[in-house]
Amino acid sequence: MSLLSEALRSTKGRIVLGVVVVWAAFQIWLTLAAPGKVSPQLAGASEKVNVQVELPFTPERFHVQSLQQYGRVAGADDNSVALRGVKRTDLNALARPYWVKGVGPIKEGG
């Protein structure tokens, strides 16, 4: 008997398998949704861009520190964080967290 068939026969095995499938589906959804959150206005030839990361809530310390790995934090306001010097190759990774609503060009004066 295979390990998978044994796991499917037990209730605990089905629960664990269900949790793994839901987790994997969520990870795939995050990866597929990320490019749609990046504004087409960020297209260009430069290696680095300045971006405004929109959130559905006021950013807290955790969110700001999490975004710092992609660029320099230039400020935060009601529902966004401004980042400078973000590599174009990191834009999809920056947009991947479920709590990021969108990534666009930095607001003037921001």
Over residues 5-29, the mean pLDDT reads 90
A 10 A CB-CB count for 53 gives 29
Looking at every residue in the chain, the average pLDDT score rounds to 91
- 36 has pLDDT over 80: yes
- 1 has pLDDT over 60: no
* pLDDT tens-place string over residues 24-34: 999 999 999 99
Identify the pLDDT of residue 56. Answer: 96
* Cα 102 from Cα 110, distance rounded (Å): 16
Over residues 64-85, the mean pLDDT reads 94
Confidence of residue 43 (pLDDT cuts 50, 70, 90): confident
Identify the pLDDT of residue 13. Answer: 86
* Cα 97 from Cα 3, distance rounded (Å): 34
Decide if 82 contacts 51 (C-beta within 8 A).
yes
- 109 has pLDDT over 80: no
